[in-house]
Amino acid sequence: MVTATSSDIEQAAEVLRAGGLVALPTETVYGLGANAEDPAAVARIFQVKGRPPSHPLIVHIAAAEHLDDWVETVPETARLLAEHFWPGPLTLVLRRGHRVPLEATGGLETVAVRVPDHPVALALLSAFGGGVTAPSANRFGSVSPTTADHVRTELGDGVDLVLDGGSCEVGVESTIVDVTGEIPSILRPGGVTREDLEAVLGRSIAVPSTSHVRVPGQHPSHYAPRARVVLVEPEQVVAEAELAQGRGHTVGVFVPASFAGVPVKAHAVVAVPGSMDAYAYGLYGFLRELDQQGCDLIVVSLPGEEGLGLAIANRLRRAAGPRLSR
């Protein structure tokens, strides 16, 4: 694994202090970081990503004990979840503390906070000493980066420094849980599973459907490669891919693990891993790879929506959603 050195981390902390942008590895995906308390630096994130300024960002902090510095109050449920899952792929939405500028929250009176579980991210947060707002380091609407190379290819000179921390272990973004109300709810499924949250909370937790857009930044189309993505039932994947290829499309196909080894006439074939951990880890890389191979159509089926399958299915649905103009 390629890992940034301590002098790279010092330099990155300097860049943040000077109002610059640093791409940093986390356990989920790479983030595009800025000093959370510097509205001009935060504004640059939106510019570089091409993201509408109304879409709120996540503030990354070094440890759970700093949470009180960034939010108005910490309800018991939030305390419990933070203790249990941080550092880790869980983001908590709470009432905004005064240190967080409205630029970072898209004007909302709530703020999303997490402690990432990656040695490079944690070292940077400690060296910097403050909070780092970081969305995924991709152009608005496209596939999130899971390697430093993805970031360089996609954002180029828009970033002042890219810290290389190897491939992101989880591969899909954090689970976002709104803990501002009486009953916690999942705003975005991600690296911490619904089942794990329910086990800690001792109650069931609601997951709003993909089509129910409540928060800016939760458009139906997101996480999308260039190629059009078509969702079909697992047993139709092979036939659908061959049909589209026969019609002149350059087809990439995700062959489900249960159909492994079945021959398929398509331009590019991804053998979907049987384990959901491995699927999540590979997902964004597979989508990028099919784009790179020139596919104009990707045929894929949804995994079962248990465990990490819930987050994977959410991203695939969004990748297949009506496209944003970008």
d(C-alpha 297, C-alpha 319), whole Å? 12
Answer for which of 20, 31, 131, 158 binds ligand TXA (CB under 6 A) is: 31
Q: Please list, in sequence order, all residues whose beta carbon lies within 8 angstroms of the beta carbon of residue 102, skipping any fewer than 6 positions away.
A: 108
Binding mask 79-118 for Mg ion (x = CB under 5 A): ----------------------------------------
Binding mask 206-245 for ligand TXA (x = CB under 6 A): ---------x-xx---------------------------
**Piece of 88-96, 99-107, 129-137, 250-258 that binds Mg ion (CB under 5 A):** 129-137
Residue 213: strand pairing partners: none
**Nearest distance from C-beta of residue 108 to ligand TXA, angstroms:** 5
Query: Of 210, 242, 176, 215, which is closest to residue 317 (Cα–Cα)?
Result: 210
Q: Please list, in sequence order, all residues whose beta carbon lies within 8 angstroms of the beta carbon of residue 295, skipping any fewer than 6 positions away.
A: 227, 250, 251, 252, 267, 268
DSSP 8-state class, residue 157:
G
229-268 residues in contact with Mg ion (CB under 5 A) are none
Rounded alpha-carbon distances, angstroms, from residue 81 to 169, 177, 247:
21, 9, 50
Number of residues lying near ligand TXA (CB under 6 A): 27
CB nearer to Mg ion: pick between 105 and 136? 136
d(C-alpha 33, C-alpha 40), whole Å? 13
Residues engaged in binding Mg ion (CB under 5 A) = 136
Residues engaged in binding ligand TXA (CB under 6 A) = 26, 28-29, 31, 55-58, 89, 91, 93, 105, 108, 110-112, 116, 134-136, 173-174, 176, 187, 215, 217-218
